[in-house]
Amino acid sequence: MSGIKPQYKIPSMKEIEKTPWNGYNVVSTFSGGGGSCLGYRMAGYHVLWANEFVEEAQKTYEANHRDTILDKRDIRTVTADEILTVLGVSAGEIDLFDGSPPCCAFSTAGKREKGWNQERSYSDGKSQRIEDLFFEYIRLLKGLQPKTFVAENVSGLVKGTAVGYFKEFIKEMKDCGYRVSAKLLNAKWLGVPQSRERLIFLGVRNDLGIDPVFPKPFSYSYNIGEAIEGVVNDHREEERLIEEEKRHSRYNVLKKIPKNPVKPTSGGEYANGSYFNLIRESLYKPCSTICQSNGKKSASGNCHPLQDRKFTIAELKRITSVPDDFVLTGSYEQQWERLGRMVPPIMMMNIAQTIQREVLDKCVTM
């Protein structure tokens, strides 16, 4: 990429709606509040069909993706034939199949091996087994036979015991008839002011004769100062967040961390190793990873560089590359969770643009 660093800018929802269609379509699974789908729309794709079974995530998705069919069932009950019938297409005609199966069991931030293959609380009171959901994605991949696919998971999937799952996923994707490649990508090198490392699987159907291609990292990154410049906060929200911090013992640790450090600084440095998840972010650096659970009142998490509080939702939108006018439903904690679970839209936009340029457009000219 060019070394020239453009100003950080997230297109508005109105601008995204006016983006010309690039001629390609998407079917999405495990769609959450629609972060990945928004990235595809930024890149000019049409998202025809999506699936999400968490109720509050469904509300957020519907508020922002009105032209997409949203299937609200458990993915285990959905068949490829049903999707094809609803869309009026045949197997092989979908351009891109997307999915981000829930991945907390593989996360380096969680209890990785403990409780595998057991039903666990996932989101908003929903419970399900986590580890086998990737196989549901692969089941639909086999039936739909899209030209390309993108699947996303946490970096922990290629570490420790979880590597066995990773190898099995790759094998089964290849057995579906695809050239498959997987790579760890960090959102901070793809236009997002957040250090968020994710494992991205790319696949291209064998008959197309093209290998998967990943986007090249930018030569620059954006920092929090650039991200939240000009952000309009609700002052009542700021005051509430400050008062909320004062109710917890972590507040005394947060006050000890210098304002606007040169890099994100953990509370562990000021509390003998405790409160290591309490992070005072820096205006000079990309934000640390926004974890979905850090918006809970009881949780330590990402805190403002200059104030003794967590980020406002308006600030989080900028940090996660979500438009200011994107509608988030539910409580503060639920809105934080939606943003924390999303693949940053601008990251996915760059992945999608690369797939169009290096794979789909070349198929048209063959």
Residues serving a catalytic function are 103
Contacts for 232 with CB less than 8 Å, ≥ 6 apart: 314, 324
CA gap 24, 37 in Å, rounded: 13
Rounded to the nearest 5 percent, the helix, strand and coil shares of the chain are 40, 15, 45
Alpha helices, H only, the chain: 13-17, 35-42, 55-64, 80-87, 133-144, 163-175, 224-227, 235-246, 250-256, 313-319, 332-341, 345-355, 361-365
DSSP 236: H
Backbone angles phi, psi at 228, to 5 degrees: -100, 10
Q: How far is CA 42 from the centre of its chain?
A: 15
CA gap 26, 17 in Å, rounded: 16
DSSP 121: E
CA gap 348, 346 in Å, rounded: 5
Q: Are 173 and 138 in contact (CB under 8 A)?
A: yes
DSSP 310: B
Q: How big is the chain, counted in residues?
A: 366
